[in-house]
A and B are shown apart, each in its own frame.
Chain A
Amino acid sequence: MNDKAKAPAAAAGKSRANQKKELPDHLKSYKHVWVMLELERGVVHPVSWELLGEGRKLAEQLKVDLGAVVLGPPEGTASAVTDAFAYGADVCYVVENPSLVDYRNEPYTAVMTELVLKYQPEILLLGATNLGRDLAGSVATTLLTGLTADCTELAVDADGSLAATRPTFGGSLLCTIYTLNYRPQMATMRPRVAPMPIYQSGRTGRIIRHDVSLPEEDIITKVLAFLPDGSMDKANLPYADIVVSGGLGMQNAENYQLVRKLAEVLGGEWGGSRPLVQKGWITSDRQIGQTGKTIRPRLYIAAGISGAIQHRVGVEGADLIVAINTDKNAPIFDFAHVGIIADAAVALPALTEAFRKRLSAAAVRPAAE
């Protein structure tokens, strides 16, 4: 847990906050920033590219190399390596083995820890996806080092330490966490928290191939099948241009449907805050916020959402945030661009109708260029 401000430890907590970097000698040689690429069924998850973008900034400040780690089946990593260089990696550590064709905790943990112990990166970043979160805890525990989950910001201090910021106390505040005296400093970041870096076609780097022995008969967990999700009815919040969401201020499941109606008229996605998942008004893939989806739409309309930090960090990247709330002091008005102090149950249907009229008028008469 990252909750440090407990009463019995308050005095110790104070000195911990001022704790200096006292890196043991054997860890001083750890150098370079690494990002583990999430390669599954031939495709790299975009969060890996976003992390290369963040890793690039850290590597620049530390004046070290940015490394991408690619694990995959034989002859299955070439395009991931090409893209990694294009997105900013200086070095690619490539491990190809038939046992790595599908993600499994055992072989991936074994390979990652072997790589880290051999090449000794000072920072290791992974996406906070199901794969990344399954793997990161295992690797950190094996290496007995610190891991900070779901960071919203990564930076480097004057002394070269990684400063990892994330929400805390259920999302009411932010905290900055350090792994001062252990290596590597590990952190995970959720998809869409960082922007996609620029793709520099033709950019190249060094490839370090690492061979591992992973006899399949020694790996106990087997992948029997992979069942892809149907594309119909699948929420795509992280990449949606328009998102409308509702919070507890919608009062009940029936009112929540007003959120969905507006989203549909606008051709956007609908979502909600965590309590709505707990109440069953929306499915968990539509949860927006720090522990749900981070979104970066062009237009975000939040109805009946108070705007606590765990929600804020999930939506701050939106170009235009509109908030509808009856409480003029709701924290959401601190970071929304436009506000309406009104009952969402009244405002949403009116807004839906106004948009519907305007858009159907355009359908009758093509929009003037």
Chain B
Amino acid sequence: MHIVVCVKQVPDSAQIRVHPVTNTIMRQGVPTIINPYDLFSLEEALRLRDRHGGEVTVVTMGPPMADTALRKCLTFGADRAVLLTDRFFAGSDTLATSYALSFLIAKVTENWGAPDLIFCGKQTIDGDTAQVGPGVAKRLNLLQLTYVAKIESFDFEAREITVQRRAEGGIQILKTKLPCLITMLEGTNDIRRGTIEDALRGARAEIITWSAAEAGIPDLTLCGLRGSPTIVKKVFAPAPRDEKAFQIDVADKSPSDISEALIAEIAKRQPALERDLLKGAAGY
């Protein structure tokens, strides 16, 4: 069995700050991490491999430094890692990204066999679009299962998979055939500690690195900025409200005084709310 997992190295968005004067992003020193959503997909892939045998290939499209994310995936236990990197990909939106990734996976297929399953993260923490997984599935003509909470059954010989998919108001139990592309919900598993062997392998491994040409991407005009239908025209901070928050006086006040002051302020601004709260408490 061969499973391909697509990952992305992203800036740790929790640590991105905006410069208070220039309103630009302060990117220096923001650490990069593996997109956290990808780890749930990677763990699921590794579990399937452990149970059914086979290999897990981790792939990414990114700048040269994305190799550290791939190396980390090897230490978790992935069998091989491939980095697709080229200046032609700079500025890709999700359509251009899925284009490049689909050829990357086709090249991986040429070398190590067609994947039976492809896993992608639900979304990234920098783009947050959740579009690349479905885009890759469409390009490769694969069935797609997103928001998977659990893989209920997996019959490799019959090439069937049944999953629990999170839908509005409940869970869909879906059954489909391999090959297919899956995105896992967050919180469905915990990424493992790799073994010592995996750690050593990860440290020593050669990350297979391909350029656009080496990956066999036929049309560079469909990559990068040129290949992106969406265009970011403006980046801005939201207009500050005219007034900042009215501050409850806290100097030398006890917590209960402050609470009373806040309740009074709420009642002043939202009298109907206070009335409804009191009505509710009185059992109306």
The answer, yes or no, to whether B143 is at the interface (CB within 8 Å) is: yes
Residue B29 lies at the interface, judged by CB distance under 8 Å to chain A: no
Contact A359:B135 (CB < 8 A) given known A9-B91, A222-B175: no
**Cα of A291 to Cα of B95 in the assembled complex, Å:** 21
B19, chain A: closest CB distance, angstroms? 10
In residues 324-359 of chain A, which contact B (Cβ within 8 Å)? Answer: 332-342, 346-347, 349-351, 353-355, 358-359
User: Would you give the 0/1 interface string for A132-159, flagging 1 where the beta carbon is closer than 8 Å to chain B?
Assistant: 0110111011101111111000000000
Is A341 touching B247 in the complex (CB atoms < 8 A)? yes
Q: A1-B127, A149-B131, A284-B186 are in contact. Are A179 and B269 (CB under 8 A)?
A: no
B91 touches A13 (CB 8 A): yes
Q: In whole angstroms, what is the CA distance A178 to B144 when docked?
A: 27
In the complex, how many angstroms separate the beta carbon of B252 from the nearest chain A beta carbon? 13
Q: Pick from A117-125, A168-176, A201-209, A252-260 the stretch touching chain B.
A: A168-176
Residue B172 CB within 8 A of the other chain: yes
The answer to whether the Cβ of B220 comes within 8 Å of any Cβ in the partner chain is no
Cα A38 to Cα B233 in complex, Å, equals 30
Q: How far is the CB of A248 from chain B (nearest CB, A)?
A: 9
- Whether, in the assembled complex, B94 has its beta carbon less than 8 Å from a beta carbon of chain A, the answer is yes
Task: Place the interface of chain B in its size category.
Answer: 35 or more
Bound-state Cα–Cα, A104 to B167, Å: 11
Contact with B along A73-110 (1 / 0, CB 8 A): 00000000000000000000000000000111110010
Q: Report the separation of the CA atoms of residues A2 and B173 in the bound assembly, to the nearest whole angstrom.
A: 33
- What's the nearest-Cβ distance from chain B to residue A250, in Å? 16
Which residue in chain B gives the minimum CB-CB distance to A1? B127
What residues of chain B lie closer than 8 Å to A9, measured between beta carbons? 90-91, 224-225
Question: A162 to B162, alpha carbons, bound, how many Å?
Answer: 40
Partner of A144, one of B95, B240, B262: B95
A360 nearest CB neighbor, chain B only: B281
Q: A137-B130, A170-B126 known; A363 and B235 CB under 8 Å?
A: no
**Is A140 in contact with B168, judged by CB distance below 8 angstroms?**
no
The answer to whether B282 touches A366 (Cβ under 8 A) is yes
Interchain CB contact under 8 A, B18 and A172? yes
Q: Does B244 contact A (CB under 8 A)?
A: yes
Which residue of A144, A149, A277, A355 is within 8 Å of B130 (Cβ)? A149
B250 adjacent to A341 (CB under 8 Å): yes
Report the Cα distance A97→B98, complex, angstroms: 31
A267 touching B235 in the complex, CB below 8 Å, given contacts A177-B230, A222-B176, A337-B269: no
B230 touches A178 (CB 8 A): yes
Residues of A near B224 (CB, < 8 A) are 9
Please give the distance in Å from B9's CB to the nearest CB on chain A. 12
Residues of B within 8 A of A138 (CB): 134-135, 137-138, 144
Binding site for A on B (CB under 8 A): 11, 13-14, 16-18, 23, 25, 36, 87, 90-95, 97-98, 123-135, 137-139, 143-147, 162, 164-177, 185-187, 224-225, 228-238, 240-241, 244-248, 250, 254-256, 258-260, 262-263, 265-266, 269-270, 273, 275-284
Can you pick out 15 interface pairs between chain A and chain B where the beta carbons lie within 8 Å of each other? Answer: A6-B90, A19-B231, A131-B168, A144-B95, A147-B129, A147-B131, A173-B25, A176-B232, A223-B172, A223-B173, A224-B162, A320-B269, A338-B262, A340-B258, A360-B281
A-B pairs, 4 with minimum CB distance: A170-B13, A137-B134, A146-B229, A350-B255
